[in-house]
Structure 1
Amino acid sequence: MTIPCKTTITTKETLSEIPGTWQLTDYRSIMSAAGFTDGDTISEAETREMTLMALADLDPSEAATVLLSYRLADDLSDGQIDQISHDMQNDKIFEEYPEIGLHRHLFDANQLLRLAYNGKFPNGVAVLVEATVQLTGPDAPTELTAGLALRALAPALSDRSLIKRLYAADLESSTPFEAADNILWELTATPDSNAPGTFAVRLISSEYWLQDLADSGEFEGEIVLPEVVEE
């Protein structure tokens, strides 16, 4: 089933780091893994600076191993972590790694290492988008999933967009767009209580996926709703 959709992009901005990624407990754990302790009295800002110093005191590959082990020990083997810790010094692993579900974690680690080593690691860019999505009709969903959000953004993407080239079938299919949850790193879609089918959307993804998204404007089209499977 298809329904009319109007997407209005209000802002699009780039981020070198995603706010709130690293918390005080994260910094303390990373420092401990790097062989440092901070005590409990210094501020979060001071703890962050000490964390960067602790990482910088290590060899770059050792520092990368500390961060990757902290974030991805449950997802990667020791051998994979060792390989990535060397590769990420020269390559944008946060864009190139075949498991896109790990891209956000690799991006976060890369950007913290880049700060610690004054630009030695490749620069990553995230994209923050704020938009309004209006779905029209009696069958308009009450929740905007990542898959529906990407379908709503499709008219604002250029034809050379990586999403359109790799996921053309998912954008037009009546089945759930499963990869969307990994493409969109953060998504908040707040329903408008006065306008059913309308959502205020805030999302974050990689420039790798959204560099060809329009900076602003209104875009209309139709999106396909996933079929509801009755049990």
Structure 2
Amino acid sequence: MKYAIKIHKISTVNELPNSWSVTDFKALLTRFNFPNAEGNDLEELQGLLCMAIADYETNEAATILLDYKLSEYLNEGQIDQLSHEMLLDRISEEYPKIELHQELYMINQLLYKAYNGKFLNTEATLVDFEITPLLNAEPEITKEIVLKCFAKNLDNHNIIIRLFGSQLSGEERFEEANDVLWELQKTENGYRFTTSDYWMSKKEFINETLDCKIDFFEEA
């Protein structure tokens, strides 16, 4: 199948919009012994939460955030281990379960902000683009389609190309595409996807426009 891609903008950010809600911040303030926070101003609540977090040891704060966000996926031992590792490593890039990378990124960046850079900074990549199906290509745009198209426009040293060559070529199913691309949103001028700078950094994109042919896995 063939698609035409036109990139409008590539942004590198260290905080995702709408990562946390008012409800999240109020629930976390309670967990950090700052209950009954008034008001619904997101920025003000985040400031209060950062102050509350900073009163705790780094691993204690990380444990509270990990438990709040990921207790359905991680057991107590895993949370305890990660709470110590997050201070030393970019866990949101290195953790083997890539389906948890976005949540780990959100937690890491909140800790990074609360402790004024004591945690390692990590970044995300936002790409605004148009994609046009050519000939009889599938008109419903999925994360797999977008990722396969954009892989054609990345430097050969990119980690997606190195790790997922068989999936990109259609030799294997590409189920990981749903976790490599954190979000895919329809916008007024096309689409926007969000991913980690670890998967795609701004400097790795080659062209602003391209036509590309991609293949899909088929059962034998």
* TM-score w.r.t. length of structure 1: 0.88
**Structure 1 match to 2:76:** 78
From 207, 212, 217, the counterpart of 1:221: 212
**Structure 2 match to 1:4:** 2
1:215, CA displacement in angstroms?
A: 6.6
Distance 2:54 2:175 in 1: 38
Q: Secondary structure at the match of 1:11?
A: strand
Distance 2:216 2:104 in 1: 32
Note the aligned Cα RMSD (angstroms).
2.0
Distance 2:213 2:185 in 1: 21
1:197-216 aligned within 5 A: 200-211=190-201, 213-214=204-205
**Structure 1 match to 2:30:** 32
Distance 1:18 1:185 in 2: 11
From 144, 152, 155, the counterpart of 1:155: 152
Asked whether 1:178 is paired with 2:175, we answer: yes
Change over 3 Å in CA distance of 1:107–1:215 after alignment to 2: farther
Change over 3 Å in CA distance of 1:55–1:49 after alignment to 2: same
**Structure 2 match to 1:167:** 164
Number of aligned positions between the proteins? 219
Alpha-carbon contact 1:9-1:215 (below 8 Å) kept: no
Q: Secondary structure at the match of 2:204?
A: coil
Distance 1:42 1:19 in 2: 16
Distance 2:36 2:51 in 1: 12
1:58-86 CA deviation, whole Å, 9 max, x = no partner? 11110000100000001001111011000
Distance 1:175 1:97 in 2: 22
- Identity among equivalent pairs (%): 36
**Structure 1 match to 2:117:** 119
Gaps of at least 5 residues in structure 2 are: none
**Structure 2 match to 1:141:** 138
Change over 3 Å in CA distance of 1:116–1:228 after alignment to 2: same
1:227, CA displacement in angstroms?
A: 4.5
Alpha-carbon contact 2:62-2:83 (below 8 Å) kept: yes
1:155, CA displacement in angstroms?
A: 1.7
Alpha-carbon contact 2:7-2:209 (below 8 Å) kept: yes
Q: Secondary structure at the match of 1:156?
A: coil
